[in-house]
Structures are given as structure tokens and as C-alpha cells.
């Protein structure tokens, strides 16, 4: 079941593709790891301090070009047990999983969101209204290389949701929404 979250624009960030199950992206997020096959190194093997559960997904406009809008998402985590201070943000109420540019940020984002249900890639599952983006190719499309991004092709509400079997902070939400007009 998907939840709702407040809409907050994300900061523009540089991203690179994920390859062979290893984190290669600059992003933010936090969460506890799940069991991974031994042959494939997972995000949990790449972080020193495991992020706290997701508080919400922030979504913002990344690029607006030629009638297509690229939306970008990032998970925000709760400051449980002074997590935000320990990773460099100070003692805030919530924070990104890691500061922008931190080598562990991508892996931490993966640990907070899990894998998308339609693509199997690390990152949120994208919805157009109540339908998976992959089921509405004329309205939206998953980004070719970056699961944290989606191409909005029509007006409407777009949601990015963390995996349903990933923990959510108290008073938190698994999804974030963005309305394209």
C-alpha cells in the first residue's frame, strides 16, 4: 500500500548509472540492509554507518526540455540516535542519507529505498496516478539509467515509492508525490 508525503523539490544533483549491482550514483538515503546473495556485492557492503528508516521521498523537477520533464527523487531519513549528526549534517530532525558528493551516498540511498517493483533496479518504484509508470508509457517512462529519475510526458501526479518491505520511520511515508501541470 502506498503512502503520501509532502512535496519538496530536490536539489539538482549529478548522477551516474548503476552497473552490475554496485552503487555508482551520487545521491542520499539511509536504511538497514537485507540479505544479499554472496556473489553480488550489495549496498550494505559499501557503507560504514547504516542509514535510519525512510521518513519520506522528496521529488523535484530536474530538467524541463522539449515537452518532457525529468523528475528526480531522493530519500530523506529520520534523525534516529543522532544519525544526521554522525554523517555530517548536525543534529537536525531529518536529513539526506549522506552529504552530496559522499562516496557512500548512492549505497545509502539504495538501502533506504530498496528495488523498484517493475524494473528490479535499485531505487523507488514510479507511479503515474495509481498505475506503474511502466504501464503508462505514453504518460511517463522510467529513466534509462537512473531509477531515482522518471520522464514525465503528461500532466498529472507522479509518485516515487520505496519498496514495501523496507522500514518506514514513525510518522513517515514510503512515497512522495509531485504534480506536473
Say if residues 13 and 26 touch (Cβ distance below 8 Å).
Answer: yes
Assigned domain for 35 exists:
no
Looking at residues 152-178, what average pLDDT do you find?
A: 95
What pLDDT is recorded for position 47? 56
Assigned domain for 12 exists:
no
Residue 58: φ, ψ to 5°: -90, 135
Assigned domain for 82 exists:
yes
What pLDDT is recorded for position 10? 30
Say if residues 43 and 30 touch (Cβ distance below 8 Å).
Answer: no
Q: What is the pLDDT of residues 10-63, one digit of tens each?
A: 322 222 222 233 333 333 333 333 443 334 445 555 456 789 999 999 999 988
- Three-class SS of 103-124: CCHHHHHHHHHCECCCCCCECC
What pLDDT is recorded for position 8? 29
What pLDDT is recorded for position 63? 84
Rounded distance between C-alpha atoms, residue 118 and residue 107, angstroms: 20
Q: What is the pLDDT of residues 104-149, one digit of tens each?
A: 999 999 999 999 999 999 999 999 999 999 999 999 999 999 999 9
Assigned domain for 27 exists:
no
Say if residues 166 and 116 touch (Cβ distance below 8 Å).
Answer: no
In 3D space, the residue among 122, 106, 103, 132 whose CA is nearest the CA of residue 163 turns out to be 122
For the chain, how many helices (H) and strands (E)?
A: 2, 9
Q: Total domain count for the chain?
A: 1
Which residues span the domain enclosing 118? Answer: 43-180
Assigned domain for 120 exists:
yes
Q: Can you list the positions of beta strands (E) in 26-181?
A: 54-65, 68-78, 94-96, 125-128, 131-132, 140-142, 149-152, 156-161, 175-180
Assigned domain for 37 exists:
no
Say if residues 134 and 5 touch (Cβ distance below 8 Å).
Answer: no
Say if residues 150 and 138 touch (Cβ distance below 8 Å).
Answer: no
pTM of the model: 0.73
Amino acid at each position: 500500500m502506498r503512502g503520501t508525503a509532502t512535496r519538496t523539490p530536490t536539489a539538482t544533483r549529478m548522477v551516474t548509472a548503476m552497473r552490475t549491482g554496485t552503487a555508482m550514483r551520487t545521491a542520499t538515503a539511509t536504511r538497514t540492509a537485507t540479505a544479499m546473495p554472496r556473489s553480488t556485492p550489495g549496498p550494505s557492503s559499501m557503507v560504514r554507518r547504516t542509514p535510519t528508516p525512510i521518513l519520506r521521498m522528496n521529488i523535484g523537477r530536474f530538467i524541463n526540455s522539449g515537452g518532457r520533464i525529468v523528475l528526480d527523487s531522493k530519500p530523506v531519513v529520520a534523525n534516529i540516535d543522532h544519525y544526521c549528526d554522525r554523517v555530517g549534517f548536525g543534529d537536525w530532525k531529518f536529513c539526506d542519507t549522506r552529504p552530496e558528493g559522499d562516496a557512500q551516498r548512492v549505497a545509502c540511498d539504495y538501502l533506504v529505498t530498496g528495488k523498484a517493483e517493475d524494473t528490479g533496479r535499485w531505487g523507488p518504484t514510479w507511479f503515474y496516478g495509481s498505475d506503474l509508470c511502466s504501464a503508462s508509457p505514453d504518460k511517463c517512462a522510467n529513466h534509462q539509467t537512473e531509477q531515482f529519475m522518471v520522464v514525465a510526458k503528461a500532466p498529472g501526479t507522479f509518485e516515487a515509492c520505496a519498496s514495501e518491505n523496507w522500514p518506514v520511520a514513525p510518522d513517515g511515508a514510503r512515497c512522495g508525490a509531485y504534480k506536473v501541470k
